[in-house]
Structure 1
Amino acid sequence: MIPINRRLQKVSEYIIGDQLADIGSDHAFLPMYALEQGQIQSAIAGEVIPGPYKAAVTSVERHGYQNHIDIRLGNGLTILNPETDHVDTITICGMGGPLIAKILNEGFKHVPYRPRFVLQSNIQSEPIRQFLQSNGYQIVTETLIKERAHIYEIIVADAGSMTLSSRDLKFGPFLHPQPSKLFVEKWTREIEALQDIKKQLDPIRHQVRYDEITKQENEIKEVLKQCN
């Protein structure tokens, strides 16, 4: 039995097709789990740092999946060959939204065949949605999951088109229209964090930053009003 946390188990529910590419694979737990569940036939696991790469190799060999998972050392999506690799789903998990968006931007030319993206961000998902909208992708679902007191966002996107409002970009087109308890908890925490930052600022000396944070607070409060 592959040891996998609830967060990655939830991510696995959105994997489609025969081949998965998992970027930043962390011991290749997600690809091995998907193979164990019979979801996929093969996988590519990418790591950018030699230490985690070697750990993934060891992990895959220990579980006997070395003939099904190709572990590659390289930067993001650049590990994929657009001529020979035609993966069905690409997962990028456990990173901040800006970093995931950076990986997508820098390596997008390596996936011209338009696979599904399953993107799990730890914070700040707005840059991910901006990238998807600008590059011919449509968000097909989003969800939140809580693990060890942290709330994570999962964004699932297929080839298509969409036009998102500023509120959709920030809060998620599937998440804010019908807010869940986790959504309320996540953004209530964000207000509290912003208020803590404001306490450290002088409203006059740091007026621009202070006003910016106040604007963010008010925007979140406006969205949370619909939850009452």
Structure 2
Amino acid sequence: MTFVTISKRLETIARYCPKGARVADIGSDHALLASYLLVEDIASFVIAGELNEGPYQAALKQIHTLQIRDRASVRKGDGLAVINPGEVEVVCIAGMGGQLIASILENGKEKLTGVKRLILQPNVGEELVRHWFLENEWQLVSETILEEDGILYEILVAERGDANAPYAQTDRTLEELVRIGPFLWQEKPPQLHTKWQHEREKWTKVRTQLERSDKPEAKERLKQIESEIEWIDGVLACLHMDKQSFKK
């Protein structure tokens, strides 16, 4: 029996894949997620797509080690160019920036025919992915934030539907929820507090640097950063209050 060991991040993505689905892993790197989905009998068929020659060859080598490699296809190409319309039901894109993920989806929209679920893990720019969902009638149905090896990851899952439905809350505006994540805001896991604490620290460092500048434009930028830190403080205060309420 072949075993495939993957990270907690990839294992979490795999859990969102419906059993028996045909899955495309775009930017598959070494095809570890695709291999795991097959070995664990989660996917009925996988396509591992990779743009660069090195990872493409690594993916080929990895898939070749599997006894069930006839249920896999490793393809070289840019984004969704590696799949045909109606060929898969699930698309996974993990380990890229949110802007790149949104661009891949936008440029390959015609390839999403027949796709029922998107499982996306942006390294940064999660709000750009949520914006794309809103603009293209994909409904965010689940979110997870997890920490592994000191790095925070967000996983966003969407299906076709009412894109505005997850944002029908009153305590935060749509734009705020797009930034924070509507499900994450409802659940308020401790990792969410950690994320925004890190954001606050980042902007505080930028503020310190700008305070040393004599340039006129620095003053305007300083105002924007003060406003950002104030907003983050409000988010952290709410998260802290909920944490305290939970303890009681």
- Equivalent residue letter for 1:108: K
Q: How has the CA–CA distance of structure 1 residues 170 and 19 changed in structure 2, closer, same or farther, with 3 Å as cutoff?
A: same
- CA displacement at 1:141 relative to structure 2: 0.7
Instruction: Determine the structure 2 residue equivalent to 1:25.
Output: 28
- Give the SS at the match of 2:210: coil
The structure number with the bigger radius of gyration is 2
CA offsets per residue over residues 188-214 of structure 1, 9 Å max, x none? Answer: 011001111122214662123222222
Q: TM-score, normalised by structure 2?
A: 0.87
The two structures, once aligned, show a CA RMSD in angstroms of: 1.4
Instruction: Determine the structure 1 residue equivalent to 2:17.
Output: 15
Instruction: Determine the structure 2 residue equivalent to 1:225.
Output: 237
- Equivalent residue letter for 1:189: H
Q: How has the CA–CA distance of structure 1 residues 90 and 43 changed in structure 2, closer, same or farther, with 3 Å as cutoff?
A: same
Give the fraction of aligned pairs with identical amino acids, expressed as a percent.
Answer: 34
> Relative contact order (alpha carbons < 8 A, sep ≥ 6): 1 or 2 greater?
1
Does 2:77 align with 1:74?
Answer: yes
Ranges in structure 1 where 5+ consecutive residues have no aligned partner: none
- CA displacement at 1:101 relative to structure 2: 1.0
- CA displacement at 1:152 relative to structure 2: 0.3
C-alpha contact (below 8 Å) 2:147/2:191 kept by paired residues? yes
Aligned counterpart in structure 2 of residue 179 of structure 1, from 185, 188, 193:
188
C-alpha contact (below 8 Å) 1:32/1:65 kept by paired residues? no
Instruction: Determine the structure 1 residue equivalent to 2:126.
Output: 125
For 1:121 and 1:54, locate their aligned partners in 2 and report how far apart those are by CA, in whole Å.
24
C-alpha contact (below 8 Å) 1:86/1:113 kept by paired residues? yes
Deviates more, 1:213-222 or 1:35-44: 213-222
- Give the SS at the match of 1:72: strand
For 1:204 and 1:176, locate their aligned partners in 2 and report how far apart those are by CA, in whole Å.
39
Q: How has the CA–CA distance of structure 1 residues 28 and 65 changed in structure 2, closer, same or farther, with 3 Å as cutoff?
A: farther
Instruction: Determine the structure 2 residue equivalent to 1:189.
Output: 198
- CA displacement at 1:27 relative to structure 2: 1.0
- CA displacement at 1:65 relative to structure 2: 3.9
CA offsets per residue over residues 29-67 of structure 1, 9 Å max, x none? Answer: 111111111111110110011111011001111233431
C-alpha contact (below 8 Å) 1:144/1:152 kept by paired residues? yes
Instruction: Determine the structure 2 residue equivalent to 1:105.
Output: 106
For 1:100 and 1:58, locate their aligned partners in 2 and report how far apart those are by CA, in whole Å.
26
- Counterparts in 2 of 1:43-82, with a 5 A limit? 43-82=46-85
Instruction: Determine the structure 2 residue equivalent to 1:209.
Output: 221
- CA displacement at 1:221 relative to structure 2: 1.5
C-alpha contact (below 8 Å) 1:94/1:121 kept by paired residues? yes
- Equivalent residue letter for 2:10: L
- Equivalent residue letter for 1:224: L
- CA displacement at 1:218 relative to structure 2: 1.7
For 1:32 and 1:101, locate their aligned partners in 2 and report how far apart those are by CA, in whole Å.
25
Ranges in structure 2 where 5+ consecutive residues have no aligned partner: 168-173, 242-248
- CA displacement at 1:4 relative to structure 2: 0.4
Bigger helix share: 2
C-alpha contact (below 8 Å) 1:176/1:223 kept by paired residues? no
Q: TM-score, normalised by structure 1?
A: 0.94
